[in-house]
Chain A
Amino acid sequence: MEAPQHSGSSYIVIDAERCKGCHLCVSVCPKGIIAPASYTNQKGYILAEVIAAKAQECTGCTACALICPDAAISVYRHSRVLSPAAR
């Protein structure tokens, strides 16, 4: 299955159940790849999510993770060589 966030050099993972929808990450992302989602989590907060079309622009600067008040964001850099089939 094609996962858009894996086409760039880095990617973020947002813990949906920790996120409280403050959208500070949306305001600090220098590439503007995070946006409010169209759905809520179990607590009823409107989550932040990565825009699929812009996901490959993530540079792994960790600005979103640094500002996140709920420690909901993890940032990773691809270090595995993936075969096209695995992607």
Chain B
Amino acid sequence: MTLDTPELDTVLYHKPEALEDYPFHFCPGCGHGIVFRLIAEVIDELKIKERAVCVASIGCTVTSYHYFNFDGLESAHGRAPAVATAIKRCRPNLVPFTYQGDGDLAAIGTAEIVHACARGENITTIFANNAIYGMTGGQMAPTTLLGMYSTSTPGGRQPSRAGYPIRVCEMLSTLDGPAYVARVSVHNPAAVRKAKQAIKLAFRAQLANLGMSLVEVLSPCPTNWRVEPVKAMDWLVEHLLPQYPLGEYKVIPAVADLKKESRRA
């Protein structure tokens, strides 16, 4: 017996099976890696690896099919909810989910997500909000805060020129279609645990055919916020949380029952 076989010990945490060994291409400290890992953990726990389909969007999330050890499909910019709708309607047994950033979901894809929610499509959307366009070099996103620096608002975002930030969860929760709309964050281990619970509930809502579920995850972008990874987490708490309060914005009674069941179990 040697000590270089840790798998013989009790595993408290290990990289989920639904995640490939291929390393993430994200910058150091990027929140996308945490969200990808949480999705993979949830898919492992629900044992739906054979049925899950990731619909990738455009942005830093574009190569998500490299990292997930299950089926994936690339969609046109902003059109991931439409593609996921088609998958779910043609093959109701599959579990499609979209993974979109704020440039994809809240800018070019606003119409798609609003109508997917309005129709109450039985799909899941994970929406990573880092308040900036990451892949293209840090331009202003619809979710960029007032006064926040970006390469297209070098003096800070001014409402007279660039308008006001969109609160996606608040907006979509006014529709009748969605079953579950929640906003979570990944700024510390406790928040990560809560984020995982919300993502799991969103997938369970889809498995129970309850309708559209959307989880917005506030995620740090150290490179384009121009701060170090650890300071980016503090910046998120200080600036993003007041503008985008965490919480569950819409929980239909059937989803609330699912939640109670998991508490009992």
Contact = CB atoms under 8 A, between A and B. Distances in A.
A62 B233 CA distance: 18
Nearest to A82: B1
Contacts of B37: 68-69, 71
Contact of A67 (B1, B16, B192): B192
A71 B189 contact: no
Interface stretch (B20-28, B92-100, B175-183): B20-28
Contacts, number: 100
Task: Categorize the interface residue count of chain B.
Answer: 35 or more
Contacts of B157: none
Contacts of B34: 67-69
Contacts of B2: 86
A63 B12 CA distance: 11
Given A13-B6, A28-B189, A62 B13 contact: yes
A24 B30 CA distance: 10
A74 B29 CA distance: 18
A29 B3 CA distance: 24
Contact of B29 (A10, A63, A69, A86): A69
Central interface residue in A24, A67, A78, by most chain B CB within 10 Å: A24
